[in-house]
Each structure stands twice: as C-alpha cells, then as structure tokens.
Amino acid sequence: MAKTEIATLGGGCFWCLEAVYNEMEGVQSAISGYMGGHVVDPDYHAVCTGSTGHIEVVQVTFDPEVNSYREILDVFFAIHDPTTRDRQGNDAGPQYRSAIFYHDEGQRKIAEETVRELDAEGLWSRPIVTDVRAAETFYPAEDYHQNYFRNNPGQGYCSFVVAPKVAKFRQKFAQKMRRG
C-alpha cells in the first residue's frame, strides 16, 4: 500500500482549491472543510458569519512519491493571492484567510521556508500574509460542498472564479495533471 501524506490549506473559497487538487496527479482526495476555529462541528452558515474562527480549507491526501509537499505548496501559492488577509477576490471575511496547517515539524519547516523564498523572489507587490499554523481538528464541509465544481460547472461562481483557477493550474502545471 502506498504511503500518503495530508496537506491542509486555506486559500479562499474551498471550491477553488478542491477543484484544482482534484486535477492533480498523485492526489487521492481533496475534501472541503473547516479548520482553526473555536466552535465544535461548525456548519457553513456559522462559518460564513466570521464568528467561529474557522477557515475554509481543503484537506489533500496525496502520494509523496508522486508529489512532494513542496510541490503541493507550489500549486497552492500559484492559484490564490497569498498577500491579502481575509480576502480572495470578492470573497471577504476571516473564513477566506490564506493559511497552511502543518501536520508535523517537517511540513512546518517546508511551509515557512517556502513563504520566505517566495517573499524574497518578489513575485507579488505586497508581502505574503499566509498563516502557518499547526493543524487542528478538521471538520468536513457539508456534502453539497464536496466536488462542487465537478458537480456544478455551469454555476456562475464556478464559471467566473473556479474555472479560471483550474485553467491556470492546467496551463502552469500540465506535467502534474492526472492522466486518463
């Protein structure tokens, strides 16, 4: 049985991240959910109030022999704006915070190093504000949020926000796409 690792990432609406990681070779699952708050078993409506402290995240289970954790993070930084706190495009609120929740010290070191390197490269006109935090309890989002883009490709938000991120991934990371 292949070894797997878990990456938990918040980069705006979880539909966007989930859709991209579902396209990536070596990813076994990408589950939309919530992490980082103080309410047990939150739901979407509570998280959207911004009062639970949770961030919309995607928990990615991947094969590290196909993609390294750094490669997972490279995709993460390529498909969202890590320089805006609590906002991605028109999605605003603390639930849309850019965050990396590390699952062990190795992931913490890689995440912090990645942020430092990307900041030093000056890819963005503002500094990276992505939080790097220890993973907490992951709460899967409601069923209707899972595979949202795949199930609703013609929905307005999917057409205008999610689809361009998927297209960007396909263009920039063609060698990392699922085959078949």
Query: For the residues 36-45, what does the mean pLDDT come to?
Result: 96
C-alpha distances out from residue 92 to 30, 109, 133, 160, 170, Å: 23, 29, 21, 16, 26
pLDDT for residue 172 is more than 90: no
Q: State the pLDDT at residue 90.
A: 86
Between CA 28 and CA 7 the distance in angstroms is 12
CB 172 within 8 A of CB 78: yes
Name the residue among 45, 43, 58 with its Cα closest to residue 13.
58
Catalytic residue among 13, 16, 48, 158: 13
pLDDT for residue 138 is more than 80: yes
Structural domains of the chain, with CATH: 5-176 (3.30.1060.10)
Is 13 designated active site? yes
C-alpha distances out from residue 147 to 2, 20, 22, 166, Å: 24, 11, 8, 13
Return the structure tokens found at 10: 């918040």
Q: State the pLDDT at residue 171.
A: 87
- Encode pLDDT of 86-111 as tens digits: 999 889 999 999 999 999 999 999 99
Q: What is the sign, positive or negative, of the torsion defined by CA atoms of 37, 16, 106, 114? A: negative
Per the model's pLDDT, the better-predicted residue between 180 and 37 turns out to be: 37
Between CA 99 and CA 135 the distance in angstroms is 10
Q: State the pLDDT at residue 1.
A: 58
Per the model's pLDDT, the better-predicted residue between 173 and 38 turns out to be: 38
The 10 Å Cβ neighbour count of residue 52 is 20
Q: Which H or E run contains 31?
A: strand 27-35
